[in-house]
Amino acid sequence: MTTKSLFLFDMDGVLIESEPFWRTAQIEVLANYGTSATVEDCIEHTMGKRLDDIAATWIQMFNLTVDAKVLESEIMQRVVALVEQEGEAIEGIPTLISDLKQRDFRLALASSSAYPIIHAVTEKLGIQDSFDLMLSAEDVPNGKPAPDVYLEVCQRLDVPVEQAFALEDSLTGVKAAVAAQLTTIAMPFENNPAFSIADCVVESVQDVITMVDNHAVA
């Protein structure tokens, strides 16, 4: 029997309703280069991915000549601005963080976002001191859906993967957590049977604690 001791949060779409900010930022920035990306394009091709992977995707898809680092920076700056202007915690997140701490869980953040966005989000929500570790996938060789960022968090905190939960909203993120062999809780942004690869699927943050209590010893 293995007792769970670590709870890993994805950030975008889990802590904050920032996925629309990402789509707006990408569409607006790409429009400056004469392209017409759609919300559906963003969901299908870039949701949950690291900034360098996002930039590479658009450059290849639209045959752009812009430097990838420039495109990354422009998208990131727009996302940060939108977070600072409009960012709000997803309903139930402050309570979930409090409940997990009361259960003596260590908390960590494992995000595809770059650190300026991570800092903007956690400061906007006032939760920057809630985590033992906040790690961006830019610090590991491969972004989600590879498991690297999750494995790195567990290694840095010296917690075996079988002792950790992960909460994800995107299929890209769920695939990463499952590949890392974490007990994966999916809170899907859409009704998609592909999310069934997770250990459990919840409809809202309010359902997460029930799942944690059911799987706290597995």
Tell me the per-residue pLDDT of 21-53, one tens digit each, with 9 for 90 and over. 999 999 999 999 999 999 999 999 999 899 999
The CATH number covering residue 48 comes to 1.10.150
Domain count, the chain: 2
- Residue 5's nearest CA partner among 203, 183, 194, 210 is 183
Evaluate if residue 88 carries a pLDDT over 90: yes
206, 121: one domain: yes
What lies within 8 Å, CB to CB, of 114 at 6+ separation is: 51, 72, 76, 136, 138
Residues 45 and 131 in one domain: no
> 113 with 9: CB under 8 angstroms?
no
CATH of the domain at 180: 3.40.50.1000
Examine the domain organization and report whether 56 and 31 are in the same domain: yes
The answer to the question of residue 1 being in a domain is no
Q: Give the mean pLDDT of 149-170.
A: 97
The whole-number pLDDT of residue 190 equals 81
What is d(CA 146, CA 167) in angstroms, rounded to the nearest whole number?
A: 16
**Domain residue limits at 49:** 19-86
| 92-124 tens-digit pLDDT | 999 999 999 999 999 999 999 999 999 999 999
* Residues 203 and 112 both lie in one domain: yes
Asked if the model's pLDDT at residue 54 lies above 90, the reply is: yes
pLDDT at 1 over 70: no
Q: In this predicted model, what pLDDT tens digit does every residue of 116-138 receive, in sequence order?
A: 999 999 999 999 999 999 999 99
Torsion of CA 68, 115, 90, 19, to 10 degrees: 0
Cα(167)–Cα(183) distance, integer angstroms: 9
